[in-house]
């Protein structure tokens, strides 16, 4: 069955067609229209602006996802302005949409579009939790076959709004065993980038600068690893962000002639040390929890899992410290917000309870929906 999935929880308008089977979920098409270029001049996502752009983008994005899945490989691709949604609706068996957590005005655009399409096309309709979507990106299949995660699994969810360690004893069984007490990991990347004046969103920019760090300042700066050796599985990133702020203010006073800017080599070295501090804490707590709960798989989920060093170092650490545990990380393009992951989560919801196909979910968005 083809699932049309829609995701608009923050600043990405996305639609995808996916199909599930015993070997995971196959992506037939995936369209992500990012608004980063619009929001970066404000230094972050402006909810009003995001919602207005979702309204503009949603129908073309859905149209393109359907067109790419079923028509664009054929002769019809030569014809312009085709309403693929209209002709493609017969191919779709289910419509899935993110209905929380996220920005309420953004969520509403996706949810109302999905609801309207389901009503007019007479299709079943299901609402999906955004964090569940991030976790199920680990069940997306890119090549012919993948080994699927085994339970119990431990998921490290690291996004712009969430940082949590979630124990899954089976599909849809979630127990949060630790979480951030203040900022989320992605939020810390974004705020530190703001302090350094290097742009938005912080994660990809910091990661790129950290890779370029080869300077006389190598390993000169030392930032704290908050709560790394505590007995619980919680995190805290707000103090780390403040430590960067103090360091930057000191350096600006002592090193830079121009109070407003630091040399690029220093900025790159701070990025490297900050990124490593976040990674050290995330990995230490994940490995400790994996041992404590004797899990078989470790899953990485959320936008921060696109981070090259985190992906590499977590994979290496699991190999050396946990011989019987496999680690799973979504392909980089499916770490940040996308509709394919929502389709994957929908497939497993339907598999667990086919009754969903007989009823139409009530449209209800919940900006604070917890797993
Ligand atoms: O999951 P996501 O796309 O949206 C939310 O659900 O929040 O995550 C966005 C977050 C942002 O804070 C962004 O800075 C961070 O993910 N991010 C990264 C990287 N790419 C995106 N953080 C670190 N390294 C990256 N390469
Ligand atoms: Zn997300």
**Chain-wide mean pLDDT for the chain?**
93
pLDDT-derived band at 257, boundaries 50, 70, 90: low
Say if ligand 1 is within 6 A of residue 204 CB: yes
- pLDDT reading at 190 higher than 90: yes
When mean pLDDT is compared across 17-26, 107-116, 313-322, 359-368, the lowest value belongs to 359-368
**For 362, which DSSP code?**
P
Q: Which token pair is 272? A: 């490297």
pLDDT at res. 259: 61
| DSSP assigned state of 10 | S
Whether 304 is in the pocket of ligand 1, judged by its Cβ within 6 Å, is yes
Answer yes or no: is pLDDT of 361 > 80: no
Predicted local distance difference test score (pLDDT) of residue 80: 64
- pLDDT-based confidence at residue 362 (cuts at 50, 70, 90): confident
pLDDT value of position 75:
54
pLDDT at 231: 93
Highest mean pLDDT among 204-218, 253-267, 322-336 belongs to 322-336
* Dist. CA 10 → ligand 2 center (Å): 8
Sorting pLDDT into bands at 50, 70 and 90, what band is 151?
very high
Tell the residue nearest (CA) to atom 3 of ligand 1: 336
- The DSSP H or E segment spanning 311 is helix 308-321
What pLDDT is stored for residue 216 in this prediction? 79
Is any ligand 1 atom within 6 A of the Cβ of residue 337?
Answer: yes
- Check pLDDT > 60 for residue 76: no
Model-level pTM? Answer: 0.95
**pLDDT value of position 78:** 57
Poorest-pLDDT segment among 23-32, 233-242, 350-359: 350-359
Could you say which DSSP state residue 359 is in? Answer: S
* The pLDDT of residue 208: 96
**Residue 25 in contact with residue 171, Cβ under 8 Å?**
no
SS3 175: strand
306 lines ligand 1 (CB under 6 A): yes
Residue 360 has pLDDT above 80, yes or no: no
In this model, does residue 139 exceed pLDDT 80? yes
pLDDT at 247 over 60: yes
SS3 149: coil
Give residue 230's pLDDT.
Answer: 95
pLDDT at 255: 77
Strand residues in 145-273 grouped as ranges (E): 153-158, 163-168, 174-179
Percent of the chain with pLDDT over 70: 96
**Which of these, 275, 350, 265, 268, lies nearest to 309 by C-alpha position?**
275
159: Cβ below 6 Å to ligand 1?
Answer: yes
Average pLDDT over residues 167-181: 98
Distance from residue 303's CA to the centre of ligand 2 (Å)? 6
Task: Tell me which of 11, 43, 137, 160 to substitute to probe ligand 1's pocket, judged by most ligand atoms within 8 Å of the beta carbon.
Answer: 160
User: 73: how many CB neighbours lie within 10 A of its CB?
Assistant: 10
DSSP state of 217: T
Q: What's the pLDDT at 214?
A: 75
Are the C-beta atoms of residues 26 and 20 closer than 8 Å to each other?
Answer: yes
Residue 100 in contact with ligand 1 by CB distance below 6 A: no
Q: What is the pLDDT of residues 140-149, one digit of tens each?
A: 997 666 789 9
Percentage of the chain with pLDDT > 90? 82
Q: For residue 122, what pLDDT is reported?
A: 94
> Is there an atom of ligand 1 within 6 Å of 202 CB?
yes
Band (pLDDT 50/70/90 cuts) for residue 77 is low
**Count of C-beta atoms within a 10 Å radius of residue 238:** 15
Distance (Å, rounded) from C-alpha 331 to C-alpha 121? 32
b or e along 197-217 (b: 16 or more beta carbons within 10 Å of the residue's beta carbon)?
ebbbbbbbbbbebbeebeeeb
Mean pLDDT throughout 50-69? 96
Ligand 2 ion: Cβ-proximal residues, 5 Å cutoff? 159, 337
Contact 109, 55 (CB under 8 A): yes
């Amino acid at each position: 069955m083809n699932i049309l999935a829609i995701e608009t929880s923050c600043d990405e308008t996305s639609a995808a067609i996916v199909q599930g089977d015993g070997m995971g979920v196959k992506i037939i098409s995936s369209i992500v229209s990012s608004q980063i270029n619009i929001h970066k001049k404000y230094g972050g996502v402006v909810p009003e602006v995001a919602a207005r752009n979702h309204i503009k983008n949603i129908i073309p994005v859905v149209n393109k996802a359907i067109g790419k899945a079923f028509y664009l490989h054929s002769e019809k691709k030569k014809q312009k302005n085709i309403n693929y949604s209209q002709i493609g609706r017969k191919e779709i068996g289910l419509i899935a949409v993110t209905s929380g957590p996220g920005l309420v005005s953004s969520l509403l655009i996706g949810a109302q579009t999905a609801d309207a399409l389901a009503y007019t096309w007479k299709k079943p309709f299901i609402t999906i939790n955004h964090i569940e979507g991030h976790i199920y990106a680990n069940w997306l299949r890119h090549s012919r076959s993948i080994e699927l995660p085994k339970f119990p699994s431990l998921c490290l969810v690291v996004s712009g709004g969430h940082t949590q360690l979630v124990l899954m004893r089976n599909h849809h069984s979630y127990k949060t065993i630790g979480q951030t007490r203040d900022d989320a990991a992605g939020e810390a990347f974004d705020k530190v980038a703001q302090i350094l004046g290097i742009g938005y969103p912080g994660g990809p920019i910091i990661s790129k600068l950290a890779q370029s760090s080869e300077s006389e300042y190598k390993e000169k700066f030392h930032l704290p690893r908050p709560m790394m050796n505590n007995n619980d599985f919680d995190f805290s990133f707000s103090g780390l962000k403040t430590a960067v702020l103090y360091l930057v203010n000191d350096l600006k006073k002592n090193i830079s002639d121009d109070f407003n800017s630091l040399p690029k080599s220093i900025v790159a070295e701070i990025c490297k040390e900050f990124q490593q501090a976040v990674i050290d804490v995330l990995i230490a707590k994940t490995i400790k929890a994996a041992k404590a709960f004797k899990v078989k798989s470790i899953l990485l989920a959320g936008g921060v899992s696109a981070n090259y060093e985190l992906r590499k170092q977590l994979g290496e650490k699991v190999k050396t410290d946990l011989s019987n545990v496999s680690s799973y990380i979504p392909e980089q393009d499916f770490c940040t917000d996308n509709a394919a992951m929502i389709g994957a989560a929908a497939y497993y919801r339907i598999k667990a309870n086919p009754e969903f196909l007989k009823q139409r979910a009530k449209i209800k968005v919940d900006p604070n929906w917890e797993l």
